[in-house]
Structure 1
Amino acid sequence: MGMSHAYGGRGNDDESIATIHRALELGVTLIDTANVYGNGANEQLVGRAIADRRDNVVLATKFGIGSGHSVRGDAAYVKQCCEESLRRLGVDHIDLYYQHRVDPDRIEETWGALSELVAEGKVRYLGISEASAASIRRAHAVHPVTALQSEWSLWTRGIEDEIVPVCRELGIGIVPFSPLGRGFLTGAVTSVRDLTADDMRRTLPRFAEGNLDRNLAIVDALRELAGEKDVTVGQLALAWVQHKGPDVVPIPGTKRRTYLEENVAAATLELSTEDIARIESAAPETAVAGERYPAALSRTTNR
């Protein structure tokens, strides 16, 4: 997402493509995009990056978010979005196709259309994003849900009580997005002044002045633990997500090879039960200041 959308600054397509290629060299095979990232530009970028190495990639994309954060799930829209994504990506099938946000009035219609895309060979597996436990069950009753993509990190743990257990009951993999708290848990952001004027994080309550200062205390506590293991605070936070289970595949985003390699190295970091307890004690969910989204965006999550 960050290569084309949301986090400000001009994208560098050459570096982005080099980063995707380096990811594949390092054994990262899941590449995740969406039709809404850069209004289709990110799918085109990913398509160019994987054009000569399609067989090495598990390609995931999404549909369902329209203009002004509207949500659509009608069958005609589902099929239209799929055809547009296939064209932009330059592929004949999508490995994992997510409903990006849930249209709760049309889950059965949406998933009926998605099931038809699987039957036609245009999509291999289906996923859902930011869905409630009840919506996951409804979708799964129409066609098996392969993966749930929702936010999960040390400062966003809302899926743990109900949603993760339902996924495990139904055999659904869990793909946490923003496992580094939109970059905050790396320690790279210490003030809103660190963010460009067009960076979406300026609109998020947790990055607002006051809240941000309180949240920096969490990073400081984690930094001490990271220092004991000679890793970065971002690597520690990412390893914590990775250790939530063998069915958990976090997808940290990055625009540069340097940060990619740092993230990949976190996959080899071993954490003991005691380590995890200390991390969670240093970063308790109750210490996080601010909601994760403003009200307009919150209304489209956990539906």
Structure 2
Amino acid sequence: MVLSPGMYGDIDDDRAERAINAALDAGAVHVDTSDAYGADGHNERLVGRAVKGRREEVVVATKFGLAVPEGEGARSFPVGYSFGELRVNGEARLVRRYAERSLANLGIDAIDLYYAHYPDPGVPIEETVGAMAALVDDGLVRHLGLSNVTAEQLRRAHAVHPITAVQNEWSMWRPVDAGLLAAARELGVGVVAWSPLGNGFLTGSVRSLGEGDFRHNAPRFSAGNLSANNDRYAPIRDLAVDLGITPAQLALAWLLHQDEHVVAIPGSRTPAHIRENAAAAGFALHGDTLARIDRALTGFEVSGGTLL
């Protein structure tokens, strides 16, 4: 998402493609996008260009339901951003249309992992997933995923067709729902953690936001809340210094220690930061270090409420 204009400020496509290739060169094998990132499928088209010629190296994941076709209705999904809601349409009759549009944007024959971006409050999850399953039968999609769902929705969906991955926000400052994690473990569903660096906050370097930054919509990043959150995050930053790694690396390594089947999808625009993030996958944290982190997080009360 950070590689499309209008999300975290301006960026050009050449720089964005260099970022994706830097990730692949660093050993990343999972690229996550959505038809709703950027205008008119910009992010999918960007990913398609970047992975062309490297397709066999990459698991390409994308999502649908927010970039509703013109003339179609949508339902409100409440979120914690300042604008208060997203508009979702997960009707079964539109699922193939969404997928075909994404395949054209990406320039690929099949989507490796296809998510419903948010559950449609007006459509039973079984109906959406049933239409997604037909895409698997027809070879347009290889695996199904759900994003931003509850444990109950995951169970109901999995009864219709096996769900490979569930994607929800999870980081040091946003715990994953315990019931959802338990359901995923029980069903053998992988967990993909979006915003594993807390929209960049957990890098320890966010002191203010530039013009056009999407995070202006998130209460946790308002001037007063951001200052308070940075003060409360100091013990984690200090621990990273003690370990000789960056706060971002510590946040990612901690997350990867939380479950055997969790995958993090940090976003970055800078090749150096991308290489730094990738290196975190190789860090083993001692039990004493994990306990120290847990103690620090217990006292880390976030100002600004939830991001979702």
TM norm. shorter chain > 0.5: yes
* Distance (whole Å) between structure 1 residues aligned to residue 299 and residue 183 of structure 2: 21
Q: 2:112 aligns with which of 92, 95, 104?
A: 95
Residue 114 of structure 2 corresponds to residue 114 of structure 1: no
Does structure 1 retain, via aligned residues, the 8 Å contact 2:5–2:12? no
Stretches of structure 1 lacking an aligned partner (at least 5 in a row): 299-303
Q: Which piece of structure 1 moves more, 246-255 or 7-16? A: 7-16
Query: Is this contact kept in 1: 2:35–2:67, CA < 8 A?
Result: no
Q: Distance in 2 between matches of 1:149 and 1:208?
A: 26
Of all paired residues, the percent bearing the same amino acid is 46
Which of 185, 208, 215 is the equivalent residue of 1:168? 185
1:199 is aligned to 2:213: yes
The equivalent residue for 1:69 is 86
User: Given that residues 185 and 237 in structure 1 are in contact (C-alpha distance below 8 angstroms), is that contact kept between their aligned partners in structure 2?
Assistant: yes
SS of aligned partner of 1:249: strand
Q: Which amino acid aligns with 2:260?
A: P
Aligned partners of 1:155 and 1:285 also within 8 Å: no
Q: Which residue of 2 aligns with 1:156?
A: 174
* One-letter amino acid matched to 2:119: V
Q: Which amino acid aligns with 1:56?
A: E
Out of 188, 197, 202, the residue aligned to residue 180 of structure 1 is 197
Measure the CA separation in 2 of the matches of 1:118 and 1:197: 42
Please state how far the C-alpha of 1:158 moved relative to its aligned partner. Answer: 3.9
- Equivalent in the alignment of 1:49: 50
Could you say which residue in structure 2 is the equivalent of 1:146? 164
Distance 1:278 1:70 in 2: 41
Task: Assess if the C-alpha contact under 8 Å between 2:8 and 2:215 holds in 1.
Answer: no
Distance 1:125 1:111 in 2: 11
Alignment partner of 1:148: what SS? strand
Whole-Å Cα distance in 2 between the matches of residues 285 and 5 of structure 1? 36
C-alpha distance in structure 2 between counterparts of 1:285 and 1:152, whole Å: 18
AA paired with 2:191? I
Q: What's the CA shift for 1:283?
A: 2.2
Does the aligned pair in 2 maintain the 1:154–1:280 contact within 8 Å?
A: no
Q: 1:78 aligns with which of 86, 95, 117?
A: 95
| Residues 218 and 283, structure 1, Cα contact 8 Å, conserved in 2 | no
Distance 1:197 1:25 in 2: 31
Tell me which moved more, 117-126 or 257-266: 257-266
Residues 218 and 282, structure 1, Cα contact 8 Å, conserved in 2: no
1:76-108 C-alpha deviation (Å, 9 max, x unpaired): 211111000000000010000011000143211
Q: Deviations over 1:281-300 (max 9, x none)?
A: 1122761112123xxxx5xx
How far apart, in 1, do the equivalents of 2:279 and 2:23 lie?
Answer: 12
TM-score, length-normalised on structure 2?
0.90
- How far the C-alpha of 1:5 sits from its partner, in A, is 4.8
Partner residue, 1:301: none
Say whether the 8 Å CA contact 2:233–2:300 is kept in structure 1. Answer: no
Give, in whole Å, the separation in 2 of the partners of 1:272 and 1:280: 13
Q: Name the aligned partner's letter for residue 261 of structure 1.
A: R
1:169-208 Cα deviation digits (max 9, x unpaired): 0000000011000000111212xxx312221111111112
Instruction: Give the number of equivalent residue pairs.
Output: 290
- Contact (CA 8 Å) 2:10, 2:212: kept in 1 or not? no
Contact 1:34 1:43 in 2 (8 A): yes
